[in-house]
Amino acid sequence: MVALNPAQRAAVEHGDGPLLVLAGAGSGKTRVITHRIAKLCERGVPPEQILAVSFTNKAAAEMAERMIPLVGRNRAERLWLSTFHSFGVRFLSEETKALGYPTRFVIFDQGDAMGIVREIVKREGIGDRQMDLYAVHSRISLWKNQGITPENAPQNDFEYDVVAREVYPHYEASLRNMCAVDFDDLVYLPAKLLEEKPALREKWRNRFQYMLVDEFQDTNRIQLDLVQMLANQRGNVCVVGDDDQSIYGWRGAEVGNILDFDQHFGGATIVKLEDNYRSRSPILEVANAAIARSKRKRHDKVLRSFKGPGPKVRLVTLTDQEHEAKFVAHEIRVLRKEGHDIGEMAVLYRSNLQARPIEEELRVQGLPYRLYGGTQFFDRKEVKDAVAYLRVVVNPLDELSLRRIVNYPSRGIGDTTIQRLTRWSLAYGKTFADSLRMIDQIPDVPDGAKRGARILNDALERARANFASGSNFAGAARQLFAEVGLERLIKEDRNPAIQKRWANVEYVLRSLEKYEQRPGGERPSLGQFLTRITMKIDQEAEETGARVTLSSLHASKGLEFDVVFLIGLNEGQLPHSRTTDPKVTEAAPTDVEEERRLFYVGVTRAREQLYLTRPKRNMLRGKVTPLVPTRFFEGLPEEHLEHFERELDAPVEAEEAVAIGQALLAQLRGGK
């Protein structure tokens, strides 16, 4: 084991009081956090009185795994290691009385939240049909992350703010009526409850002696509020982060939280981690030079390579986007031939649209790849349908899920009947579930719809009884899917593509079985299982084998690779036109600096070799447009750069041509 360097040791051995650890890319921040926790345990602090918060399930799981050899499994399992949102789930589950909810509540993901917004806009006649409802929901989400309630929403004339301001109170009422919370609520509601209820705040402050927060530069206003209210009177808060990697301002993150840490927590000690253990010197020299030209306030730090010299950074200019894709694919083939692991290569880009030419070229050349951060397994239609049935079993008040499955598969409850049920429930102050259960009392409902409702209600009640037994959850779910006709609908479809969807439902059943059989922990419950998949905990990767990673720059945060291709480096793409053209948005000048930080993040993903590529021109509908290199190339150290300009396709060797031909033939035959 490599010994802690002096800066790391200073952070680990810090005593009481607030501590800011400025951890540059690849400087061992996770190691510092885990060793500091171990040091606290060594000093006699009970593990259950230590709360460590990260931003992703992956980071939290990695932290938990690293703690076992440091403090032993028993103490490691007693620590509070979670994401902000997972902490919120535990908090709200314990404080449902304070929240005013029953013991069970459902967590809505973004798709569910969009469904509520869509229903409100339609029902209330708000806005126009062409309005981007995603933008409306994004406004509400941003307000929650800033601690803004429906009552104090911004009063301005911006179109989406006007609509969001009208939708917001209806949205909150819908969530409460369905005993539901959205993702933003998992932080917003605990912060709000702790602020409003002094006794509750004192209870939770006394629970933790020490608190640690990873990736503090990504926190928003409400997350900062939560940290401040959980901190005890001694202010034993250690935050780790890098303001140079703050790239989520568009979703509410406030880089000022880390820049002004000493103002939020008086008397803070600051430790800088500048020794980089990830990247070769040329990569870091390029990163340092790029971020040093930032025009906004930042904590001054310079990364130093522990690994030493390596290949120069290759700055490659190609004719157009098509040639750029061909070049990248060719280099991947060459690198693989030289013995490099294709699973340790990545292509990074500012916009997801940039991935398409790369995808096409990799597919043509038979090079395996994966899209990182693409459509998640549990976002697929057939999976969401199956999960909706399970959610209604747990929470009959989950109107969103109930509306999704009420006539799927078709059971005679069409749109006209649903409208009648909705009007009846509103007139008599009932829920949609009540109207379905009391459908025989509602006038003008066809007999077929009544039969369909009885079949659905009976199946759901049997499922609730089966799940209440506390065992064989997968069997209970399978029985439910069979009774409501979900299995038959998918399996009997003549379309092979549809038939394959049942395999995805089977995966849900296997996940349920695996969850039920996991060792230790609390008594299994269907509600807990649904929470885990909504929070994307324990979701396995479906793709196997070594593959090139294709990822947006935002999604690549926290990842690292031996070889990185950072593509499309032109003005308008990086920095994105939304941040530079006031005609497109109301972007502040500081947004460009966030784009600079995004470039910095992309560069520092590379361990051994880095390619910076750009096309010279764009071809659209036969019109050629010259492209300007990104401003982030300015000031890069020439001694660490290797310039290339390629006008023609990279040549393909005979044996490579054979391999490509074989890959294409396999594709035509239906192979992978």
Active-site residue set? 29-30, 214-215, 245, 605
Mapping DSSP to helix (H, G, I), strand (E, B) and coil, where does residue 565 land? strand
Give the Cα separation of 323 and 317 in Å (integer). Answer: 10
Structure tokens at 448: 């077929």
Sheet holding 50-54, edge to edge: 80-83, 50-54, 210-213, 237-241, 19-23, 269-273
Give the Cα separation of 387 and 393 in Å (integer). Answer: 10
For strand 269-273 and strand 19-23, is the pairing parallel, antiparallel, or unpaired? parallel
Structure tokens at 155: 């009063």
Residue 186: other Cβ atoms inside 10 A = 21
**CA-to-CA separations, 131 to 51, 150, 164, 584, in angstroms, rounded:** 42, 20, 11, 17
Burial of residue 197, with CB atoms counted within 10 A of its CB: 0-12 exposed, 13-18 middle, 19 or more buried: middle
Mapping DSSP to helix (H, G, I), strand (E, B) and coil, where does residue 643 land? strand
Q: Which neighbouring-strand residues pair with 271?
A: 21
Give the Cα separation of 531 and 516 in Å (integer). Answer: 14
Nearest CA among 574, 588, 584 for reference residue 631: 574
Burial of residue 571, with CB atoms counted within 10 A of its CB: 0-12 exposed, 13-18 middle, 19 or more buried: middle
Nearest CA among 436, 431, 462, 430 for reference residue 450: 436
Residue 30's φ and ψ, nearest 5 degrees, are -65, -35
| Angle subtended at Cα 602 by Cα 601 and Cα 603, rounded to the nearest 5 degrees | 95
For strand 180-182 and strand 106-108, is the pairing parallel, antiparallel, or unpaired? parallel
Structure tokens at 420: 């009648």
Nearest CA among 326, 357, 328, 360 for reference residue 345: 328
Residue with tokens 């057939």: 382
Q: CB under 8 Å to 21, separation ≥6 — which residues?
A: 11, 29, 32, 238, 239, 240, 241, 271, 273
Nearest CA among 6, 8, 10, 79 for reference residue 38: 79
Q: Which value, to the nearest 10 degrees, does the dihedral of the CA atoms of residues 256, 262, 264, 268 take?
A: 140
Residue 628: other Cβ atoms inside 10 A = 10
CA diameter of the chain: 82
Q: What is the DSSP string of 324-351?
A: HHHHHHHHHHHHHHTT--GGGEEEEESS
Please enumerate, as own/partner, the contacts of 198-205 that have beta carbons within 8 Å and a separation of 24 or more.
200/95, 200/98, 201/229, 204/91, 204/229, 204/230, 205/229, 205/230, 205/231, 205/232, 205/233
Q: CB under 8 Å to 567, separation ≥6 — which residues?
A: 324, 328, 347, 348, 349, 354, 358, 613, 614
